[in-house]
């Protein structure tokens, strides 16, 4: 529970050198030059350097996630998207880095207590991105299956409550109406 989030942050935000140090430290006990302020160039254990790097990346990821939550929340409020049963937001790299879309969607689900889709325009002009749902709600627990049953999505790939989704622009315009009808009795 401590190591996994650090590795996750490294995969999302680390450069190749940082990733190599982190993963090699799991298997080797080498000494490498430190990049820690005040210790630059001095020998340090690879595992110490890996922990320092991973903690820095985790802090950076959390800052970016919180900034993303704030930006997307502003869009949701400005556009009144929280009036829908499912919050669907089109984002881009100026609003939210793609590598943290799922983390931001998780926070927004907790904030609004509704399923959240954060989609971006792809090269083939579809909309694709991260989807998260309210797993504690029995009617929303199988949200991926619900999305697929609508016939609106090109694909939904992943777990029932945490998955990637792709939808055409035409179907995107229909999605809120369909979800609002399907979920009209869900609080």
Instruction: Return the pLDDT at 16.
Output: 94
pTM score: 0.84
Q: Which residues of the chain have pLDDT under 70?
A: none
Task: Give the pLDDT confidence of 63-112 residue by residue, as tens digits.
Answer: 999 999 999 999 999 999 999 999 999 999 999 999 999 999 999 999 99
Spatial distance between the Cα atoms of 104 and 89, rounded to a whole number of angstroms: 12
Say if CB 122 and CB 154 are below 8 A apart: no
Instruction: Return the pLDDT at 61.
Output: 92
Instruction: Return the pLDDT at 73.
Output: 97
Instruction: Return the pLDDT at 159.
Output: 94
The residue with tokens 């049953």 is: 149
Instruction: Return the pLDDT at 31.
Output: 85
Instruction: Return the pLDDT at 46.
Output: 85
């Amino acid at each position: 529970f401590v190591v996994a989030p650090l590795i996750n942050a490294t995969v999302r935000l680390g450069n190749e050198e940082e990733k190599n140090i982190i993963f090699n430290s799991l298997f080797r006990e080498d000494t490498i030059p430190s990049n820690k302020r005040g210790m630059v160039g001095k020998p340090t254990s690879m595992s110490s350097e890996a922990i320092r790097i991973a903690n820095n990346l985790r802090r950076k990821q959390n800052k970016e996630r919180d900034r993303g939550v704030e930006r997307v929340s502003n869009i949701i409020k400005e556009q009144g998207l929280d009036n829908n049963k499912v919050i669907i937001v089109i984002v881009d790299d100026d609003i939210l880095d793609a590598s943290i879309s799922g983390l931001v969607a998780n926070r927004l689900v907790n904030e609004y207590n509704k399923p959240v889709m954060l989609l971006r325009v792809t090269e083939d002009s579809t909309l694709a991105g991260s989807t998260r749902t309210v797993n504690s709600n029995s009617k929303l627990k199988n949200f991926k299956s619900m999305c697929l049953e609508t016939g609106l999505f090109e694909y939904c790939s992943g777990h029932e409550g945490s998955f990637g989704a792709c939808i055409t622009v035409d179907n995107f315009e229909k999605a809120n109406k369909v979800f609002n009808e399907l979920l009209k009795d869900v609080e």
